[in-house]
């Protein structure tokens, strides 16, 4: 007998038919004697629909009220799943995040979980119930409903698994595991049996939305055994491992991540003297805007160009700050920007022991005539910024060049 926390995503609960299927799956585990906490997302499309409603009323919806509303998507799914379980003679009970008391900070729309009260869930489990919990939501200490950011039900699942010390956290979704890259973009992408925690962390932070980044961070911090599997087919899925298997032949590159979430900003003709990076990025940081990649060109004639990327949602805001507060102050020539960029990254722990990955990546892109606008590296990843229109091509040619479609 084991104790599982299972999370089913939006597509998996996208219709009442699908909810009945999830209930059948859960009932099968229950019949085998396992204890189960089941986390569900809103039915697919529902969160987007609710956000659009808010925008019909308020141009910039009030974040607290937005959370009150979008959290209803998950509240519908938990009740439907609990009912579906009852029809299969499984004792089930549903709870919202605030009923469990998933306590978060007060950063509405992207709150962080601070603690989870496990007492009620444990009592229900001991009494033989399947406990169904709404993903993506919590409550702050003032009693206001909060949400955890898009894709946040993954984090609810992993956080519950950590708090309740589950044997495994199983993320059921519409693909049968973690692939070398998004299988919707590269048909030849291959499912991985395992991926190291470090690689998964990079993949998630570089844009692979199969797991919310925060959920991977949680799994790392609390050493949660985490597996991604299909809601629709049987299979082992992909296990996130904490140790590199020394005996296993390790691929140099494990996966390719990409995202279109960023925008690039360049400050032209900046005086090339100490403190300039701080003068430009200080006010950006003060406005709570995260900066990702940064490039400062080699100066000539005492002037240089300074480029960086921010999330697309912050693009206009950042340009305004630079034009109003910084450009006149430091005497820069101009501020330019573009949001039609994409970041493509190759990830693999094998890079630590192999040279030449970057040059191979740059050669492959050059052969396709794809211009690299920015580069960033870490020990286990290389990221490039390219024109958005070349993103899919770049992912495909790199996937092929690094032999990712071939099993080891």
Which residues in this chain contact Mg ion in the complex, by CB under 5 A?
A: 9, 151
Subset of residues 52 to 111 that bind ligand ASP, contact rule: CB under 6 A: 73
Q: Least distance in Å: CB of 16 to ligand ASP?
A: 17
Q: Least distance in Å: CB of 106 to ligand ADP?
A: 25
Alpha-carbon distances of 174 from 62, 104, 232, rounded to whole Å: 32, 28, 7
208 near ligand ADP, rule: CB under 6 A: yes
Region of 121-129, 147-155, 230-238, 316-324 interacting with ligand ASP (CB under 6 A): 147-155
- Asked if 284 contacts 315 with a C-beta cutoff of 8 angstroms, the reply is no
CA dihedral (117, 95, 204, 193) positive or negative: positive
63-87 and 46-57 helices, crossing angle to 10°: 150
- The interface partner of residue 254, options being ligand ADP, ligand ASP, Mg ion, none and the CB cut-off 5 to 8 Å by kind, is none
147 near ligand ADP, rule: CB under 6 A: no
348 near ligand ADP, rule: CB under 6 A: no
202 near ligand ADP, rule: CB under 6 A: no
Q: Which is nearer to ligand ADP, 209 or 325 (CB)?
A: 209
Q: Least distance in Å: CB of 71 to ligand ASP?
A: 9
Subset of residues 228 to 257 that bind ligand ADP, contact rule: CB under 6 A: 255
Backbone angles phi, psi at 396, to 5 degrees: -65, -45
- Asked if 136 contacts 77 with a C-beta cutoff of 8 angstroms, the reply is no
10 near ligand ASP, rule: CB under 6 A: yes
CB burial of 46-68 (b: ≥16 within 10 Å; e: otherwise) equals: bbeebbeebeeeeeebebeebbb
- The interface partner of residue 220, options being ligand ASP, Mg ion, ligand ADP, none and the CB cut-off 5 to 8 Å by kind, is none
177 near ligand ASP, rule: CB under 6 A: no
Nearest-angstrom CA–CA distance, 86 and 91:
6
Q: Pairing between strand 35-40 and 3-8? A: parallel
Among 34, 91, 150, 190, binds ligand ASP (CB under 6 A): 150
Which residues, in sequence order, are bridge partners of residue 266?
307, 336
Which residues, in sequence order, are bridge partners of residue 116?
102
Sheet holding 262-271, edge to edge: 291-296, 303-311, 262-271, 334-338
41 near ligand ASP, rule: CB under 6 A: yes
Region of 111-119, 160-168, 204-212, 332-340 interacting with ligand ADP (CB under 6 A): 204-212
173 near ligand ADP, rule: CB under 6 A: yes
First vs last C-alpha separation in the chain: 34
- The interface partner of residue 73, options being ligand ASP, Mg ion, ligand ADP, none and the CB cut-off 5 to 8 Å by kind, is ligand ASP
How many residues make contact with ligand ASP (CB under 6 A)? 13
174 near ligand ADP, rule: CB under 6 A: yes
Spatial CA neighbour of 144 closest among 95, 105, 116: 105
- The interface partner of residue 178, options being Mg ion, ligand ASP, ligand ADP, none and the CB cut-off 5 to 8 Å by kind, is ligand ADP
DSSP state, residue 179: B
Which residues, in sequence order, are bridge partners of residue 309?
264
Q: Which is nearer to Mg ion, 5 or 322 (CB)?
A: 5
138 near ligand ASP, rule: CB under 6 A: no
Among 61, 152, 207, 337, binds ligand ASP (CB under 6 A): 152
Going by C-beta distance under 8 Å and a sequence separation of 6 or more, which residues neighbour residue 335?
Answer: 265, 266, 267, 268, 319, 322, 323, 326, 327
Q: Least distance in Å: CB of 77 to Mg ion?
A: 14
Q: What is the per-residue binding string for ligand ADP in 209-228, x denoting contact by CB under 6 A?
A: xx------------------
Q: Least distance in Å: CB of 269 to ligand ADP?
A: 39
- Asked if 106 contacts 71 with a C-beta cutoff of 8 angstroms, the reply is no
Subset of residues 9 to 48 that bind ligand ADP, contact rule: CB under 6 A: 9-12, 41
**Please, is 123 exposed, middle or buried when counting C-beta atoms within 10 Å of its C-beta (0-12, 13-18, 19+)?**
exposed
Interacting residues with ligand ASP (CB under 6 A): 9-10, 41-42, 47, 73, 135-136, 150-154
Interacting residues with ligand ADP (CB under 6 A): 9-12, 41, 151, 173-175, 178-179, 181-184, 208-210, 255
């Amino acid at each position: 007998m084991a104790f599982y926390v299972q999370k089913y995503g939006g597509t998996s609960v996208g219709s009442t038919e699908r909810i009945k299927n999830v209930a059948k799956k859960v009932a099968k585990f229950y019949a085998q004697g396992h204890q189960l906490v089941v986390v569900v997302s809103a039915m697919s499309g529902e969160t987007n629909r609710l956000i659009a409603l808010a925008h019909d009323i308020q141009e910039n919806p009030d974040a607290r009220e937005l959370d009150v509303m979008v959290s209803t998507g998950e509240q519908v799914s938990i009740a439907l799943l609990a009912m579906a379980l009852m029809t299969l003679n499984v004792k089930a009970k549903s709870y919202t995040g605030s009923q469990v008391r998933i306590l978060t900070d007060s950063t509405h729309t992207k709150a962080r979980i601070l603690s989870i009260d496990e007492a009620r869930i444990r009592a229900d489990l001991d009494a033989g119930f399947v406990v169904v919990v709404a993903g993506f939501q919590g409550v702050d200490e003032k009693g206001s409903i909060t949400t955890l950011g898009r894709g946040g039900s993954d984090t609810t699942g992993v956080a519950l698994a950590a708090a309740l010390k589950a044997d495994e956290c199983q993320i059921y979704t519409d693909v049968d595991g973690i692939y070398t890259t998004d299988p919707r973009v590269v048909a030849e992408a291959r499912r991985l049996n395992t991926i190291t925690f470090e690689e998964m962390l990079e993949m998630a932070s570089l844009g692979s939305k199969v797991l919310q980044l925060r959920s991977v961070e949680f799994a790392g911090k609390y050493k949660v055994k985490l597996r991604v599997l299909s809601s629709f087919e049987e299979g082992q899925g992909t296990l996130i491992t904490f140790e590199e298997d020394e005996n296993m032949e390790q691929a140099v590159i494990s996966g390719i991540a990409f995202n279109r979430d960023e925008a690039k900003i360049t400050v032209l003709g900046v005086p090339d003297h100490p403190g300039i990076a701080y003068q430009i990025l200080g006010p950006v940081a003060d406005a709570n805007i995260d900066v990702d990649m940064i490039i400062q060109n080699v100066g000539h004639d005492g002037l240089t160009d300074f480029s960086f990327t921010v999330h697309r949602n912050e693009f206009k805001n950042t340009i305004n700050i630079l034009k109003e507060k910084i450009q006149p102050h430091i005497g820069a020539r101009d501020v330019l920007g573009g949001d039609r960029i994409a970041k493509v990254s190759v990830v693999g722990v094998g890079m630590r022991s192999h040279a030449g990955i970057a040059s191979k990546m740059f050669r492959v892109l050059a052969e396709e005539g794809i211009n690299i606008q920015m580069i960033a590296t870490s020990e286990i990843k290389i990221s490039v910024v390219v024109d958005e229109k070349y993103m899919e091509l770049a992912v495909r040619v790199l996937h092929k060049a690094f032999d990712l479609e071939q099993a080891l």
